[in-house]
Structure 1
Amino acid sequence: MLLTYQYKIKLLPEQEIMMMQWLELLRRHYNYCLGQRFDWLSNTRCSIDRCSLVSEPIGEIPSQFPNYNFQAGLLKQTKELFPEYKDIYHDVQQQNLKRLDKAWDRWIKPDKSGKRGGRPRFKKVGELRSFTFPRINCAKAGAHINHGILKLSKIGEISVIVHRSLPDSLVLKTCTIVKKADGWYVCISAEDETVPTPKPIDTIKTAVGIDVGLKEFLTTSDGEVVPIQQIYRKAQNHLARQQRFLARQEKGSNSYKKQQNKIARIHQRIQRQRKDFHYQIAHQLVREYDLIAVEDLSVKNLARNSKLALSILDAAWSQFITILEAVAVKCGVHIVKVNPHNTSQDCSGCGVKVPKALSVRTHCCPKCNLVLDRDENAAINILIKALQAVGLIASAGGGLVRRQPVKPEAWGFQGVQLSLF
């Protein structure tokens, strides 16, 4: 399993200037190589039955597509024409081309489901904010970290704030330097071979189904609820006020850049608070249950076709499920995704479909007279589907072990402002 450890670094002024220069040169080279690929595409593609009224490419048709190997072979020529590229470590330039190659392949080649990524774009000034050393702590590596000191080739030694030590059992893979709104960070990717294997299905003792929503962040099949935070909604007015201040500044001035960074810090704080909240919920669930059932939601489509798009994106259900899966893998807990079709409409007691509008928050079954909260009924249905998928039998209450409902205060999130600052 690949893990990423992120640490803040303290740079000297000359080191920061050098890194900013690296990012700008890498951005220009990225755009030039992307333009090479687009030129080859336009010179070798045209309509069969018509010509453009504006322009048509003329000249020799390139014999070779400018792929990664072709463009990496031209790095020596680039350094001769532009000597400033000699100051950049060669592995970093190759990784920059590999990043372009991946973006191009996502656009040209469809994935297993037949979908393709968006067309690669030219990067504006300041849009490229990271560069990667592909090897760390080995003989030919350009990056070495030891006792809180990061040594980068052609940059020098950098002090690292090691708030959490790197385990000795990890195999270090790559080192990425990232520029964020509040400073510079180093992201160390490592492989952990000590990940526990998931528990056998027969040994599962506790299971739960969770239904995410906007009234409550999630409701479990045991009746527990976690209140929604609405982190972006709470900061929305403050963010809008700061954006109005930015609109009054002269574009490109020092005050404009200062206000721009202030807005970026607000977005960063919102992101960190949301992620911290998701991690706390994920760890709470993984500690209590051996199997967790969730809906296989297409959040992008939900947000696209809903008037509540901003609230849906603020809840960030996809990010939460991704975090929950990562935490579960490290703890050997099973995560089962089920089809969300009719989980809110079907009765968890007798299985009869009970149509109801979104505004109706209580499930009332006319056949078995079951009266239950709408979200809890959906969570029980999700759990039943998951247990059937893995070959287990659900109890009458919808789970393997029925627990007493717990008040929201037991989760520790009622009225608490989460922050990393």
Structure 2
Amino acid sequence: MLLTYQYKLNPNPEQVVMLKTWGELLRRHWNYALDQRLDWLRRTRSRIDCCSLVCEPIGEIPSKPDYYTQALDLKKTKELFPDYKNIYADCQQQNLMRLDKAWKRWLIPDKNGKRGGRPRFKKRGDISSFTFPRVNHPKAGAHLTGNTLKLSKIGKIEVILHRPIPDGFEIKQATILVKADGWYCSFSLEDKTVPAVLPVDEIKTTTGIDVGLEKFLTTAEGQSIAVPQYYRASQATLARQQRKLSRKVQGSKNYNFQSNKVAKLHLHVARQRKEFHYQVAHWLVDSYDLIVFENLNIRGLARTRRAKSILDVAWGTFLEIMQAVAVKRGKHTRSVDPRGTSLNCSSCGERVEKTLAIRVHSCSCGLVIDRDWNSALNLLKRGSVGLPIPGCGGLDISQPVKQQVSYVNLRCSR
């Protein structure tokens, strides 16, 4: 099992200058290596027996560049530009590995036939992280001893260990990155043991969750969590600070100071949202052995009029966090097709047409419940197919006709 723990660093001013210099040199090397690959692609786009209608390159066609050829050129790079001698060699190789992965994601489709976007040239400050692939190894460039991180050619940096590293985990690599409020180090931890998954026969508690914009989610038991709307709550403050930024001279000290102030506000909103997601995920995993959720096309939904609200609740990030927490706890999660879950009756299965403005499901069978609650029950039905789980049906007409949705209050410390 792999975990990532992130700790804040406390470098001195000289080390901050050195870290920024490393990032700038790695950015330039990224752009040079990417230009090599794009130049080869332009020159070999046309076949030998025909000419391109757009343009035809003149000159010798270079050999195909890849990670290995570009890694071999690092020696020449250090001879031509001595500043690169001050960067740990493994960090430069990791920079080329990142480029190679991005290049392959663009040209080679995955098993679903999808490809990533074309790698881009980096502007100043875009590369804000670099990786030491080995930690606490005799030939490693990073060594963690207590609360001190010793980096090759940089020196010793104090690490604020706000939580201990779990026993039995081995530190595989360390990534140094900068955020709006300082420098951080992300340790990749590996444990050879695999969490024991709860057997299907021992699943006792199940639920389906329906995510939305009026309520963040609703479970099959009728419990709902309100939408916090962290971005909308901070929107007025962000707008005011961004207006101040627009009045500054770009590139000046005042501009950089105000830009960092805006970035800190965005970082605060992101941390609020992330903490809320983890609280909800842990509450669900603690309460249920099987969680069924809807497989939404969030990227498509984010192109609608409700894009700001959809991106503010961040359903995709929450579902990823919930699945990761469930794996660590040995619980089960299952995604199902959401089509028709809010229209079909969870009691009799009849289709009841209604618009998004209608928030109550009222069926001819006598069932009158909240629309999201009805959808969560249908999701639980679909996700429980093929599993030996009793009591996964919907509500019947013998239960109270009008149901009140209860709200679960989660307190955020931020």
**Structure 2 length as normaliser, TM-score?**
0.95
Q: Distance in 1 between matches of 2:172 and 2:46?
A: 43
User: Deviation string for 1:105-164 (max 9, x for gaps)?
Assistant: 110000111010001100000010000000001111110101111011111111000000
Superposed displacement of residue 303, structure 1: 1.2
Q: Deviations over 1:72-103 (max 9, x none)?
A: 00000000000000000000000000000011
* Aligned 8 A contact 1:181 1:265 in 2: yes
Distance (whole Å) between structure 1 residues aligned to residue 18 and residue 120 of structure 2: 25
1:220 aligns to 2:219 (yes or no): yes
Alignment partner of 1:347 is 2:345: yes
User: 1:169 and 2:168 equivalent?
Assistant: yes
Query: 1:228 corresponds to which letter in structure 2?
Result: V
**Counterpart residue type for residue 26 of structure 1:** L
The one of 377, 382, 386 aligned to 1:385 = 382
Amino acid at match of 1:10: N
In the TM superposition, what are the counterparts of 1:7-406 in structure 2 within 5 Å? 7-46=7-46, 51-52=52-53, 55-62=55-62, 64-304=63-303, 306-366=304-364, 368-397=365-394
Counterpart secondary structure, 2:234: helix
* Count of residues paired in the alignment: 408
**Quick check: 2:381–2:394 contact (8 Å CA) kept in 1?**
no
Deviates further, 387-396 or 179-188: 387-396
Find the aligned partners of 1:289 and 1:405 in 2 and give their Cα distance.
22
- Contact 1:384 1:398 (8 Å CA) reproduced: no
Identity of aligned residues (%): 55
Contact 2:106 2:117 (C-alpha < 8 Å) held by counterparts: yes
Q: Counterpart of 2:122 in structure 1: which amino acid? A: K
**Is the Cα contact below 8 Å between 1:381 and 1:398 reproduced in 2?**
no
The one-letter code sitting in structure 2 at the alignment partner of 1:166 is I
Look up the SS of the partner of 1:358 in the other structure.
Answer: coil
Cα contact 1:207–1:289 (8 A) shared by 2 = yes
CA 1:384–1:169 in structure 2 vs 1: closer, same or farther (change >3 Å)? Answer: same
Is the contact made by 1:387 and 1:393 (CA closer than 8 Å) also made in structure 2? no
Cα separation, 1, equivalents of 2:209 and 2:334: 11
Q: Is the 8 A contact 1:294 1:337 kept in 2?
A: yes
Q: Which amino acid aligns with 1:132?
A: T
Distance 1:412 1:194 in 2: 35
Equivalent AA in structure 2 for residue 382 of structure 1: L
- Mark the runs of 5 or more structure 2 residues left unpaired by the alignment: none
CA 1:8–1:357 in structure 2 vs 1: closer, same or farther (change >3 Å)? same
2-structure distance, mates of 1:246, 1:419: 29
Distance change (3 Å), C-alpha of 1:185 and 1:205:
same
Q: C-alpha separation between the residues in 2 aligned to 1:288 and 1:99? A: 39
Summarize deviations over 1:40-77 as a string: whole Å, max 9, x none: 00011138876446x43101112x21100000000000
CA 1:289/1:405 → structure 2, altered by over 3 Å: closer, same or farther?
farther
- Give the 3-state SS of the residue equivalent to 2:221 in structure 1: coil
User: Over residues 348-380 of structure 1, what are the superposed CA-to-partner deviations in whole Å (9 max), with x where a residue is unaligned?
Assistant: 0011111110100000112x1111100000000
> The residue matched to 1:388 in structure 2 has which SS?
coil
- Counterpart secondary structure, 2:322: helix
CA contact (8 A) 2:352 2:363 kept: yes
Shift of 1:209: 0.6
Structure 2 CA distance, aligned partners of 1:312 and 1:349? Answer: 30
Greater shift after overlay, 220-229 or 195-204? 195-204
Runs of 4 or more off by more than 3 Å in structure 1? Answer: 47-53, 389-399, 404-407
Contact 1:210 1:219 in 2 (8 A): yes
